[in-house]
Amino acid sequence: MPYRRTRGIVTDSPSSDPGVEADVIMTAAALGLATSHIKGGVPLRFDMDPRDKDKDWNSFEATVKRLHTAAAGYLGRTSRLPTGTIEAGFAPLHRQGAVIVGVYHMAGQEPPPSVAELVLSPKGEALYEEIRNERLPQYVGRGAYTGFVDNRNTVGDTDPVGPLSTVRFLAPDLDVSHESPMAPQHPRWLPPDQSPRWNPRLRRNTRDSYVPWGLIAGDKATKEPSAGIPNPTNAENEADQVTGLMRSQGMVFEGEPTPSDIVGYTHGMIQAIYKAYHLGPNTTPYEITVGTQTTKLASCLTCSLFMVALGYPPTSIHLGRGESWMPLFEPYSSHARSEQDERAVIRDLNNSWQAKCDEWLALGLEVLDQAATTDDHRPAIAAVRKYLDANTRDKSVPSVLILDAVTIHESETTRIDRTLLSS
Ligand SMILES: [Zn+2]
């Protein structure tokens, strides 16, 4: 059996609610990341889109305050006085060709004085211009960021890498994962056939055709195509319409999913980090905004966890959506240099990411345990803890729970608001 087919992500009873469990998992992840920062005296800022300021600032600031109150309360009780704060702020303004930088702290590099003053190598500059002006094939639709690695190495491989657009993959199947040491050992979660989670995925005008798990907009299958966006494939429902649109806007789909598959999306920055790590310390991974439909110049929480775990903290973190986020489990690139080397890099980086997910989720749950949480989320906090306690020998489990949680598509802000009481 390649998947966990339980009613909840970590429980299997008639009252299991995977949505509530996903809320707890992702709130714990955000709290773990934030608490570990301020514990060490390093402030952490979560950013919103400055263009939403008038509409959303007050509620966003309140969400971040919930995180701060919970984390600071926990650190106060455990007699470690917080020396950093968790703050709300604004992401840098989005514009065509703006970048998110991952800076390799371990190599002693500092963030550039301003991300607006991009200083690239000559070859990097040329490639950046090609990407920014969309002269190379890449995804340019909703949420389009393109990964890019500038390379200042003077010996060996000195070429920059890009464009690295978000790619849709099938989650690795455990039946074959023994041949693929990078795949997580713990099975992924796929809702059972009778789960109500499948209801919005039943394609309009069909009796038994379901949109596979993980697909972006997959829960819009019962809806008519939206009049507000193009429908290049003449799809009969909004879920298939969005998939067709993403393909027409240049997203690469690796493999065609069936309802017994899970799909995930690997963002450009993540691909760029594997490449940067592979090429050595004189490289910088970037994510460049392309197209006109991307609104936030900030990294999603799931990317941020990966970036911080690997020592490339992002310029800015948002608390929006990381729908069906996934790292790489196999070498992927049209710039493959050495597949064997790439496998080793993926294995090492994924191991580091798994170890940090383990640390952050455990810490976040401890914080949650003592925090003012909503009554309807308390049983799920205990259930996630119990699940982790029962699986301590498998270090992939916390990271797998995060991957599972983000297959339930929701903004992290909403999940945090549903889990933590306002302070
Ligand atoms: Zn991301």
Q: What is the per-residue pLDDT for 95?
A: 57
Tens of pLDDT, residue by residue over 353-378, are 999 999 999 999 999 999 999 999 99
Task: Give the tens place of pLDDT for each residue, 93-144.
Answer: 655 556 666 654 434 444 544 444 577 899 999 998 888 888 888 888 877 7
Tell me the CA–centroid distance for residue 235 and ligand 1, in Å. 27
- Tokens 């500092």, residue? 110
Strands (E), 115-209: 145-151, 161-165, 167-170, 188-189
The Å distance, Cα 405 to ligand 1 centre, comes to: 15
Residue 269 pLDDT > 70, yes or no? yes
Count Cα neighbours of 135 within 13 Å in the Cβ-side half-sphere.
7
| CB distance 327 to 175 below 8 Å | no
Sign for the pseudo-dihedral over CA of 62, 94, 112, 302: positive
> Measured in angstroms, how far is the CA atom of residue 276 from the centroid of ligand 1?
17
The confidence score (pLDDT) of residue 116 equals 45
Arithmetic mean of pLDDT, 188-194: 96
Ligand 1 center from residue 13 Cα (angstroms): 33
Strand partners, 317: 46, 299
Confidence of residue 176 (pLDDT cuts 50, 70, 90): low
Q: Are 268 and 139 in contact (CB under 8 A)?
A: no
For ligand 1, the distance from its centroid to the CA atom of residue 321, given in whole angstroms, is: 8
Residue 103 pLDDT: 53
The residues, ordered by sequence, that sit 6+ positions from 266 with a Cβ below 8 Å of its Cβ are 166, 167, 169, 325, 326, 327, 328, 332
Among 25-39, 267-281, 369-383, 390-404, the range scoring the smallest mean pLDDT is 267-281
pLDDT tens per residue, range 319-330: 999 999 999 998
pLDDT tens digit sequence for 137-173: 888 887 778 899 999 988 888 999 989 999 999 998 7
The stretch 214-227 carries a mean pLDDT of 97
Distance 78 CA to ligand 1 centre (A): 33
Q: Domain-by-domain residue ranges, the chain? A: 3-169+265-419
DSSP state string for 186-227? SPEE---TT-GGGGGGBPTT-SS-BPPBT-TTGGGTTSPPPT
pLDDT, position 81:
67
Distance (Å) from CA 320 to ligand 1 centroid:
10
Q: State the Cα–Cα distance between residues 11 and 388, nearest whole angstrom.
A: 12
Residues 265-275, buried b or exposed e (16+ Cβ, 10 A)? bbbbbbbbbbb
Burial class (CB within 10 angstroms; exposed 0-12, middle 13-18, buried 19+) of 175: exposed
What residues form DSSP beta bridges with 161? 149
Q: Are strands 161-165 and 317-318 parallel, antiparallel or unpaired?
A: unpaired
60-70 mean pLDDT: 95
Residue spans of beta strands (DSSP E) within 49-97: 86-90
CA of 307 to the centre of ligand 1 (A): 10
Report d(CA 127, CA 148) in Å as an integer: 9
Q: Ligand 1: distance of its center to the CA of 151 in Å?
A: 22
From the CA of 317, how far away is ligand 1's center (Å)? 9
> If pLDDT is split at 50, 70 and 90, which confidence band does 2 have?
confident
From residue 52, alpha-carbon distances to 89, 94, 108, 224, 242 in Å are 12, 12, 35, 29, 24
- Within 149-300, where are the H helices? 174-177, 238-248, 268-279
Distance 365 CA to ligand 1 centre (A): 23
Tally: H helices and E strands in the chain = 11, 12
The model's pTM:
0.93
How far, in Å, from the CA of 130 to the mean position of ligand 1?
22
- Above 90 in pLDDT, residue 224? yes
Q: Which residue has the higher pLDDT, 1 or 153?
A: 153
Q: How far is the CA of 91 from the centre of ligand 1 (A)?
A: 14
Percent of the chain at pLDDT exceeding 90: 60
Ligand 1 center to 381 CA (angstroms): 25
CA angle 392, 398, 399 (to 5 degrees): 135
- CB burial string 104-115: b at 16+ within 10 A, e below: beeeebeeeeeb
